[in-house]
Every structure is written in C-alpha cells, then in structure tokens.
Amino acid sequence: MKTIVYYYTLTGHCETIATLIADQLNCDSEKIIEKKKRLSKGFLRFLNGGSALQKNTGKIEVMNNNPAGFDRIIIVTPFWAASPTPAVRGFAYKYKEELKDKTLGLALTNLGTDPEEAFSKYKELFRGSLITVSFTKAKNEWADPKMSELIDQFISDLGTVI
C-alpha cells in the first residue's frame, strides 16, 4: 500500500508532526504551499482565521507527488477558527478526483479548542470517512504531551482500514 503525508503549516508545528508520522510509516511527506503569503508572526497572524471562517479556497502550488499515485493519504494541518485552512480547502478541491476512494487520514493541530467542530467541517470538505487524530499544545509547552501515543494510535487506526 503506497502512502504519503501532505501537510500545511504556517508556524511549523504541523511539519514536525508530519515528519514524525512519515518517518514511522517510512513514506514521503510533502508540504502544501499556498500561493498567498500570510502573516505568520505575532498576534496578527490570527487574522487569517477570517478567511478560514469564510471558506476561502486557497490557491496552492501543484504537488510534486500527485495523490493519484497513492492508496493512503494523510493530511496534517492546523484548524483555524474551528475551520479548515484555506490551503487545505484548495488542496481538497484541486485534487477532488484523485482523492476519491482513497483511505484518508487527517491529523489536526490546535491550541486547545475542542476539535469536533473542525473535524466535522473537514469531513464535509473531503466528503468521506476520515481517520482522525488531534494534537493539542499543552500550556507552556510546544507539543502535545501525548504526541507519541497519539501517533501510534493514529497509525494503528489507519492500518485497520479495509
């Protein structure tokens, strides 16, 4: 089964998680690059949440690895304002046909909001069943303290999909 991890990141967290997942699965990872340059530093970066809430579809660069060539596709992304990031919305639309009938995994990162609303919006976006996991930063720490357990469980859940 050919697997790939795609990730979108504004501040680096998802890149770390995507690399850990890809290392464990011994597969490639590739960054989803949005053409629009977004503010990534300081409190003003949170203004990007408006375009997520408004369901803006980000224009993204063509992926080097076309999803058509893979059976299992994992997407790692933050959620913004409890909503899909514009870049991942753009990815889902651009590769809608290629993603059909694939096993899809979704790993979300966030700062502490309950991820259920975001999960349901991402499920609507990808129009199918998703194997999900969410990583929440602990207070004064950069990573989820349960990160390795969560990755193990996610990989095990992905493996049991028929």
Catalog residues that contact ligand FMN under the rule CB under 6 A. Answer: 9-14, 45-46, 48-49, 78-82, 109-113
Distance from chain centroid for Cα 45: 18
Complex with ligand FMN: residue 98 or 147, whichever CB lies closer: 147
Q: Minimum Å distance from CB 126 to ligand FMN?
A: 18
Q: Minimum Å distance from CB 78 to ligand FMN?
A: 3
Which segments of the chain does DSSP mark as H helices, in order? 13-25, 49-53, 86-94, 96-99, 116-126, 147-159
Contact 65/99 with Cβ under 8 angstroms?
A: no
Q: Which amino acid is at 81?
A: A
Q: Which amino acid is at 152?
A: D
Phi, psi (rounded to 5 degrees) for 64: -65, -40
Complex with ligand FMN: residue 7 or 70, whichever CB lies closer: 7
Q: Minimum Å distance from CB 12 to ligand FMN?
A: 5
With a CB cutoff of 8 Å and minimum separation 6, the contacts of 100 are none
Q: Minimum Å distance from CB 11 to ligand FMN?
A: 3
Pairing mode, if any, of strands 28-31 and 72-80? unpaired
Complex with ligand FMN: residue 17 or 104, whichever CB lies closer: 17
Complex with ligand FMN: residue 46 or 93, whichever CB lies closer: 46
Pairing mode, if any, of strands 28-31 and 3-7? parallel
Complex with ligand FMN: residue 66 or 148, whichever CB lies closer: 148
Q: Minimum Å distance from CB 70 to ligand FMN?
A: 22
